[in-house]
Structure 1
Amino acid sequence: MTLRLFRYLAKEVLVSTAGVTLILLLVILSGRFSNYLGRIAEGKMTFEFLFVILGYHIPSFIQMILPLAFFLSLLLAFGRLYIENEMSVLFSSGVSKIKLAGYTLGIACIISLTSASINFWLAPFSEYRAAEASQEQNQLSAFDFLIPGRFEGNGQRTIHIDSFTPNEGWMNQIFLSDVVRKKNVSIPTQTFAAYAEQIRVSSEDNQNYLIFKNGTRYEGKPGTANYRITQFDTYAVRMATKDNSVIDEPYTKSTLSLIKSTALLDKVELQWRISLVVVIPILAIIGLSLSQVNPRQGRFFKMLPAIILMILYIALLIWGRTGLEKGKLPIQLGLWWIHGVFALIAAALFIQYNQVFERRKARLPEVTDSNE
């Protein structure tokens, strides 16, 4: 019966956790999706890269969502069991609240192991790959974001192409307006060409070139004497490139490298990853204690104070992390004191829930006066 009961409770909680996690994840992804669409419209990233970067960020979103989803699911699942009197049947069958807490912590261990695998391995690996993909995206030039038949840019810096060749990817009928600096003077230039292509040179200087074919270049202000018209068969322009920086942000590092590191930010990141795992069993006891309601109260009677406690817990962890990163809190103290405070709160709520120190008033016998 013990194993069967644990499976039943675990199914109730874990299915709800998966559902709440999916809903919260979709909410976050929709916000990021709108933000990235704006960057695509501005010509700062390609549409294909949108799904790549969102996919890499999903583990980081889940590592924050999972403790919250588990806590809310525990309140909803156990609240329903109380409302439908299933908990009363369990207690009358000999299942104590101590044993129910053991089942709850067992379910919390499943969520904690999942969270640990995401926090310690999957999320940093995905964030490192996301940083690599972002660097590759930054190497793309404005010509990689061109849409045929549409002017891109603003002011005197404008690009327009008629179409792309289907196989080679050459730009047909290209117009480029730009400004060059010569002797501290800005000189407008316009280049018309029948074809153009980008060539990335694999050399030590890592330079990219834009090659124009069969065109004309105009340089200078119209109506002035210093005006040049150049017709060319081939004209090459060296394009500015960005050097790839070393990816060494703490959230992209492996957990093993964080353990070996002596840098402050790396130590804070390590404590944060551990905290997102430690928070789960503490929230489990708080959720178990505050999920007890009677049918007249309804399952949402204690959800508000429970959610306030959860928000306060997460907010203190975020505040503590910021304080550690800025050096306002000692790294030796870390985030452990926050877990300690809420572990005591969880213990106090469970004691009240289990009625360990319930005061029982003894009924004293009434003393009658013999003279009456």
Structure 2
Amino acid sequence: MTLRLFRYLAKEVLVSTIGVTLILLLVILSGRISNYLGRIAEGKMTFEFLFVILGYHVPSFVQMILPLAFFLSLLLAFGRLYIENEMSVLFSSGISKVKLAGYTLGIACIIGAVSATINFWIAPLSEYRAAEASEAQNQLSAFDFLIPGRFEGSGQRTTYLDSFTPDEGWMKQIFISDVVRKKDQNIPTQTLAAYAEQIRISSEGNQTYLVFKDGTRYEGKPGTANYRITYFDTYAIRMENQGSNVIDDPYTRSTLALIKSQKLADKVELQWRTSLVVMIPILAIIGLSLSQVNPRQGRFFKMLPAILLMILYIALLIWGRTALEKGKLPIQLGLWWIHGLFMLVAALLFAQYNQVFERRKARLPNIADAKNE
């Protein structure tokens, strides 16, 4: 019976956790997608890169969502069991609240194992891959983002191309309007060419050139004496290369590297990853204690104070992480005092839930009566 009961409770909580996690993940992804679509419209990112970067960021989103989803699912699942009197049946069958807490911690261990796998291994690796993909995206020039038949840019800085050649992939019928600075003056330029292509020369440190063929270049303001028109067969412009950045952010480093590191930022990141796992069993006891409701109150009666308590927990962890990074808190203290504080809160709530204080009060009159007799 014990194993069947644990399976039943675990199924109720885990299924709800998966559902809540997916809902929260969709909310976060929708916000990110709108942001990335704006960058695509501005010509700062390719459409294909959108799905790549979102895929790499999903584990990082899940590592933050999972403790919250588990806590909310525990409140919803156990609240339903109380409303439908299933908990009353369990207690009348000899299942104590202490044993129920053991089952709840067992479910928390399953969620904690998943969270630890994501926090300590999958999320850092995914963030490193995302940083690599972003670095490769930054190496692309503005001409890699051009869409045929559409003007890109604004004002005097505008680019247009008609199409790409099917075999070589050259830009066909390209027009570029720009402004150059000469003798403390902004001089407008326009370049029209039948074809253009980007050429990277390895001997010059992977320097990239934009080579125009069969075109005309206009420089200056029409009607002025210094207005020039240049016809060319081949015209090349050296493009500025983006410098490569070393990927060494703490959130992209492996957990083993963080353990060996002596840097403050790495130590803080390690404590943060650990905190997202440690908080799960603490939230489990708090959720178990606050999920107890009677049918008249409704399953959402204690949902608001529980959510406020969870928000306070997460807000303190975020504040503590920021304070550690700025050196306002000693690294030896870390985030452990926050977990200790909420472990105390969880113990007090569970004591009240288990009616420890009420039992002691109920026994005091009996002891006094025994002495009088």
Letter in 2 for 1:75: L
1:162 match: secondary structure: strand
1:362 match: secondary structure: helix
Percent of pairs identical after alignment?
Answer: 84
Aligned to 2:239: 239
Name the CA distance, whole Å, in 2 between partners of 1:4 and 1:30.
39
1:229 is displaced (CA, Å) by 2.1
Report whether the alignment pairs 1:49 with 2:49: yes
1:204 is displaced (CA, Å) by 5.1
Matches within 5 A, 1:61-72: 61-72=61-72
Aligned to 1:362: 365
Q: Deviations over 1:46-91 (max 9, x none)?
A: 1111111111110000000000000000000011111111111111
Aligned to 2:93: 93
Name the CA distance, whole Å, in 2 between partners of 1:245 and 1:7.
49
Q: Deviations over 1:74-123 (max 9, x none)?
A: 00001111111111111111111111111000000000000000000111
1:156 is displaced (CA, Å) by 1.9
Matches within 5 A, 1:204-283: 205-283=205-283
Q: Deviations over 1:215-268 (max 9, x none)?
A: 111222322232332211111111111011101111111111111111111111
Aligned to 2:157: 157
Q: Deviations over 1:178-234 (max 9, x none)?
A: 222334433222111101111223345221111111111122232223233221111
Aligned to 2:311: 311
Name the CA distance, whole Å, in 2 between partners of 1:330 and 1:311.
24
Runs of 5+ unmatched residues, structure 2: none
1:180 match: secondary structure: strand
1:173 is displaced (CA, Å) by 0.8
Letter in 1 for 2:312: L
Report whether the alignment pairs 1:130 with 2:133: no
Name the CA distance, whole Å, in 2 between partners of 1:259 and 1:151.
51
Aligned to 2:9: 9
Aligned to 1:143: 143
Mean Cα deviation higher: 152-161 or 3-12: 152-161
2:331 match: secondary structure: coil
Name the CA distance, whole Å, in 2 between partners of 1:239 and 1:98.
69
Aligned to 2:187: 187
Name the CA distance, whole Å, in 1 between partners of 2:312 and 2:201.
54
Name the CA distance, whole Å, in 2 between partners of 1:314 and 1:43.
37
1:18 match: secondary structure: helix
Mean Cα deviation higher: 144-153 or 24-33: 144-153
Letter in 2 for 1:8: Y
Q: Deviations over 1:128-177 (max 9, x none)?
A: 11111111111111111112222211222111111112332211111111
Name the CA distance, whole Å, in 2 between partners of 1:158 and 1:77.
58
Letter in 2 for 1:51: F
Letter in 1 for 2:258: L
Aligned to 1:39: 39
RMSD: 1.3
Letter in 2 for 1:164: F
Letter in 2 for 1:336: W
Mean Cα deviation higher: 328-337 or 180-189: 180-189
Name the CA distance, whole Å, in 2 between partners of 1:268 and 1:196.
50
Mean Cα deviation higher: 71-80 or 290-299: 290-299
Letter in 2 for 1:275: S
Name the CA distance, whole Å, in 2 between partners of 1:142 and 1:298.
58
2:262 match: secondary structure: coil
Matches within 5 A, 1:334-349: 334-349=334-349
Name the CA distance, whole Å, in 2 between partners of 1:278 and 1:72.
17
How many residue pairs match? The answer is: 365
Name the CA distance, whole Å, in 1 between partners of 2:216 and 2:150.
21
Name the CA distance, whole Å, in 1 between partners of 2:54 and 2:209.
31
Name the CA distance, whole Å, in 2 between partners of 1:220 and 1:308.
64
Name the CA distance, whole Å, in 2 between partners of 1:18 and 1:223.
69
Q: Deviations over 1:268-295 (max 9, x none)?
A: 1110000000000000000001111111
Letter in 2 for 1:105: L
TM-score by length of structure 2 reads 0.95
Evaluate the alpha carbon distance shift between residue 137 and residue 204 of structure 1 in structure 2; reply closer, same or farther with a 3 A threshold: same
Q: Deviations over 1:304-343 (max 9, x none)?
A: 1111111110010011111111111111111000000000
Letter in 1 for 2:329: L
Aligned to 2:105: 105
1:296 match: secondary structure: coil
2:20 match: secondary structure: helix
